[in-house]
């Protein structure tokens, strides 16, 4: 009986000694069937503003080009019909649909060779409008006084023998201008440009013989 107890104690001592030598710092060699790998790369949350690195790109949306169509090509000659040598009527125009946030549309015609000269300033057009007919003031719209002192449109009219460059602009506005017929042209243009969120331009040349 004493011999059995002694043998049992000896076995327990060997087991304890072996366990003490295995402190967990040395990994056992893998067995042949253990051939799988585990990735520890964390998935990057693209919505996390603090995320860094090349895991994702924050690309800006492309810029939008708004267009306006006039009876002449951009940079081409303006037909005399729309000048002081012709019928002198406002041209028919069409333009791109307004961007989100537009509450009013306005149109101006200015002489780039005579800064401050207002040929035409019309505002109060509906934000859903995409065109205006020749020599027409849509319902709800109004025209400022041009630099000749008349309400409405006056076309290109440079001195004889000169060529001037003119710019027609459609303005998309984020606020109502709140003026009315006969307002000073430059005052209306200042108000238009102060609340403009987008625009479309077309230029034209007129030569007076």
Residues 94-138 have pLDDT tens digits of 999 999 999 999 999 999 999 999 999 999 999 999 999 999 999
pLDDT beyond 50 at 22: no
> 3-state SS of the chain?
CHHHHHHHHHHHHHHHHHHHHCCCCCCCCCCCCCCCCCCCCCCCCCCCCCCCCCCCCCCCCCCCCCCEECCCCCCEECCHHHCCCCCCCCCCEEECCCCCCCCEEEEEEEECCCCCCEEEEEEEECCCCCEECCCCCCCCCEECECCCCCECCCCCCCCCCCEEEEEEEEEEECCCCCCCCCCEHHHHHHHHHHCEEEEEEEEEEEECC
Express as a percent the part of the chain with pLDDT over 70.
70
User: Domains in the chain: how many in total?
Assistant: 1
Query: Per the domain annotation, does 83 fall within a domain?
Result: yes
Query: Per the domain annotation, does 103 fall within a domain?
Result: yes
Query: Per the domain annotation, does 50 fall within a domain?
Result: no
Cα separation values, 166 from 53, 76, 109, 197, 206, Å: 49, 10, 7, 22, 8
Distance, in Å, from the CA atom of 190 to the CA atom of 144, rounded to the nearest integer, reads 12
- Domain span at residue 125 reads 68-207
* pLDDT score at 64: 76
Query: Per the domain annotation, does 81 fall within a domain?
Result: yes
Query: Per the domain annotation, does 90 fall within a domain?
Result: yes
* pLDDT score at 128: 98
pTM assigned to the model: 0.71
Please report, for the domain that includes residue 76, its CATH number: 3.90.280.10
Query: Per the domain annotation, does 28 fall within a domain?
Result: no
Distance, in Å, from the CA atom of 204 to the CA atom of 70, rounded to the nearest integer, reads 9
Whether the Cβ atoms of residue 58 and residue 52 lie closer than 8 Å to each other: no
Query: Per the domain annotation, does 53 fall within a domain?
Result: no
Whether the Cβ atoms of residue 89 and residue 135 lie closer than 8 Å to each other: yes
Query: Per the domain annotation, does 131 fall within a domain?
Result: yes
Q: What is the mean pLDDT of residues 187-205?
A: 98
């Amino acid at each position: 009986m004493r011999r059995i107890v002694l043998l049992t104690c000896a076995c327990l001592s060997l087991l304890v000694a072996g366990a003490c030598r295995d402190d967990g710092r040395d990994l056992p060699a893998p067995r042949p069937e253990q051939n799988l790998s585990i990735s520890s790369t964390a998935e990057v949350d693209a919505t996390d503003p603090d995320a860094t690195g090349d895991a994702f790109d924050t690309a800006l949306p492309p810029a939008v080009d708004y267009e306006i169509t006039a009876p002449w090509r951009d940079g081409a000659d303006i037909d005399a019909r729309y000048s002081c040598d012709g019928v002198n009527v406002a041209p028919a125009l069409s333009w791109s649909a307004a961007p989100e946030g537009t509450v009013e549309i306005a149109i101006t015609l200015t002489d780039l060779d005579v800064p401050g000269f207002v040929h035409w300033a019309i505002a109060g057009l509906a934000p859903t409008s995409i065109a205006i007919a020749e020599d027409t003031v849509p319902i709800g719209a109004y025209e400022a006084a041009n630099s000749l002192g008349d309400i409405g449109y006056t076309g290109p009219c440079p001195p004889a023998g000169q060529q001037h460059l003119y710019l027609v602009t459609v303005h998309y506005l984020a606020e109502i201008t709140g003026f009315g017929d006969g307002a000073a042209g430059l005052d209306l243009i200042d108000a238009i440009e102060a609340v403009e969120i987008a625009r479309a331009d077309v230029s034209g040349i007129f030569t007076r013989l």
